[in-house]
A and B are shown apart, each in its own frame.
Chain A
Amino acid sequence: MAQKLDTGQMQRYWSKTSRLMWTIFALWILFSFIAPLFAIQLNNVKFLGFPLGFYMAAQGSLIAFVVLCVWNAIAQNKIDEEFGVQED
């Protein structure tokens, strides 16, 4: 049964949730913007037969996005259970 949190618990719950959000948000920026910015330099490196800059924008960052979404689901579900606010 989901409990109603008091103010202190709610704050702790939300700061944990926010911390997870910001961590994933930072990694999202890394793979969306920072990595492609260095595409020209990375293109001089070969990876699996691909120029690395091209590879990152075409595949590497995409894999990272999938991982981030899965991680978010698992980690947030855990936080919910820790505070007993998951659904019945």
Chain B
Amino acid sequence: MADSKAAGGGFLGNLGKIYGGYAGGFIVFTLILAVLEQMGVPNKVIGYCFVILTIGVYAYIGILSRTMDLSEYYVAGRKVPALYNGMATGADWMSAASFISMAGGIYLGGFNALGYVLGWTGGYVLVGILLAPYLRKFGQFTVPDFLGTRYEGNGARLCGVVVLFCASFTYIVAQCFGIGIITSRFLGIPFEVAIFVGLLGILVCSMLGGMRAVTWTQVAQYIILIISYLVPVVWLSTKLYGVPIPELTYGQALDQIAQLETKLGVVKHFTGAFTDAKGQFSWVEFNNFWALVLCLMIGTASLPHILMRYFTTPSVREARNSVAWSIFFIFLLYFTAPAYAAFAKLEVYQNVIGQPIAQLPAWVQNWSQVGGLLTIKDANSDGILQLSEFIINQDIIVLSMPEIAGLPYVVSGLVAAGGLAAALSTADGLLLAIANALSHDVYYKMIDPKASTRRRLTVARVLLVGVAIIAAAVAGTRPSGIIQMVAWAFSLAAAGLFAPLVLGIWWKRTTKIGAISGMICGFGVCLFYLVMTRYAPDDFKAMFGTDLWWGIRNISSAVFGLPVAFVVTYLVSLMTPEPSKEMQAFVDSIRTPGGAVAAGA
């Protein structure tokens, strides 16, 4: 079993050829479908082909990579080269929120939504300079492992697991939601059923092979998601301006949008910075912008499913290089997203608004059927679509744009495959982060330290399936929008984990009690703000006499939790006795790439 294709030197030595051939195969597959479409094959069949064939490929890789080895299951045997770990991190990172919601957010919010673009890239600088190389040197299986070792005991480990669970679970519910939207639309089945169909796609990748399977499917998923994100934008850029580099041409689209805004009487300009609904400068928008950027960036550097990707490289040096590759691969999508949004806006302003409603093309029908995400209501009964009568949800802009712009349906299928790849890959990473923390940190380290390898892997798999089913069930209740749930996850992780991780490496004086108090207080404040403002706004108002503190929306709750975590950790650490000599030697030993890791306490 260990010698299956995905393990031997033959596989690792030929990664370039294998994935190159795979990418080529995918392009050929898309071209064949394009030809079939021209020959009259119905759209529905094309949608099916994309969804089922790509999931089939992931399942194939997942099954090939099955393993019964602990190190393979938890950290892919620490054999993943920097470049491929970068791609896997890219897929792990870019979720349904980045792929299917972010450009939609920019479409609706204009400049103010660029906080997502900044926030979801800049965090890698922090990962690279503060954390990844040191966590790799530490060289265990999970992020709570580090907390449990550095802060001597199961107290810190358990706090880490709780934060990890809350953040990752919120995050994974959002992914199941995205998977539900795509499978429901492209397979034509009800949303609630679609979620569970997608779930099979998640489980088949991760259950048998753990981190090893997830890594190699994520590389495959990155290739599909980046191709499918770039194709429609490059196509539109070429169609509109004759240059296939959308990042250069959408400046012109912004100009045209500005002119159309004047014509249509839109007061909130697309490029206007920190404007409210009336187009005026707003301090609330201004504060929310930087608060969101801060929370997303710090969250990046705290989310365990991302940090644990850097446990899989062969060395510290590779981990560091891998961060650079990661941000490069992620950057390719993020600096294209605003172009996607601008082109979609232009198409809607030019070709949808002002049209007779009776003559709107079929995509309007198709999308109106997916759970109220697109509404068209002829408010003034003149039969013409006005801007205010066209309400589109941010979660379907990316998926519907190829149809809105009149591109062949094969492009829609391609985008669906990409969105699915993004959602599945992130869901897998998260699922593994949760199940590993529960099976390794809670079960093995706290409940049954004598458990056999076989038993540990069985427990890990049972937990994986259990968590996945619960997440899908919660997603079926449609708790909130994708991007909002994801932003909450970032805030929760940032408030709970950033301070103990960073201080644990960079400040030797951080003590066990200090770190634990910091985590509890920081995470507590963040969770309190989030839950109260979301679920008990009246009580919150009664308590503080205001809806939101300084108008900061709860997607940026960590703005309050973070400083609390740092201040509490600092003060309590100074009040408690200095960590032992052994612990300080341990910190020294993870600061240098070479040499052994000291035993700690």
Chain A interfacial positions (CB closer than 8 Å to B): 2-5, 10, 13-14, 17, 20-21, 24-25, 28, 31-33, 36-37, 39-40, 43, 48-51, 53-55, 57-59, 61-63, 65-66, 68-70, 72-73, 76-77, 80, 83-88
Contacts and interface: CB of A to CB of B under 8 A. Distances in A.
Main secondary structure of the interface of B (DSSP, over half): helix
B125 A69 contact: yes
Given A54-B254, A65-B121, A69-B128, A36 B293 contact: yes
B247 A24 contact: no
Listed residue (A33, A36, A43, A48) with the most chain B CB atoms within 10 angstroms of its CB: A36
Given A21-B129, A65-B125, 16 more contacts: A2-B592, A25-B129, A39-B274, A40-B273, A43-B273, A49-B252, A51-B271, A59-B335, A62-B334, A70-B324, A73-B320, A76-B133, A76-B320, A80-B317, A85-B593, A86-B594
B273 to A, nearest CB: 4
A87 B273 contact: no
Interface string B265-306: 000000111100000010000000110011001000000000
24 contacts: A2-B593, A17-B591, A32-B294, A36-B290, A48-B248, A49-B252, A49-B255, A51-B254, A51-B271, A54-B111, A54-B254, A57-B117, A57-B118, A62-B331, A62-B334, A65-B331, A69-B328, A70-B324, A76-B133, A77-B317, A80-B317, A80-B592, A80-B593, A85-B595
A43 B594 contact: no
Nearest to A80: B593
Nearest to A71: B324
A86 to B, nearest CB: 6
Interface string B483-513: 0000000000000000000000000000000
Interface string B221-265: 000000000000000000000000001100110110000000000
Interface residues of B, number: 49
Contact of A53 (B111, B125, B126): B111
Contacts of A20: 129
Contacts of B107: none
B584 to A, nearest CB: 11
Interface string B327-341: 110010011001000
Q: Across chains A and B, which 3 residue pairs bring their CB atoms closest together, nearest first?
A: A2-B594, A49-B251, A39-B273
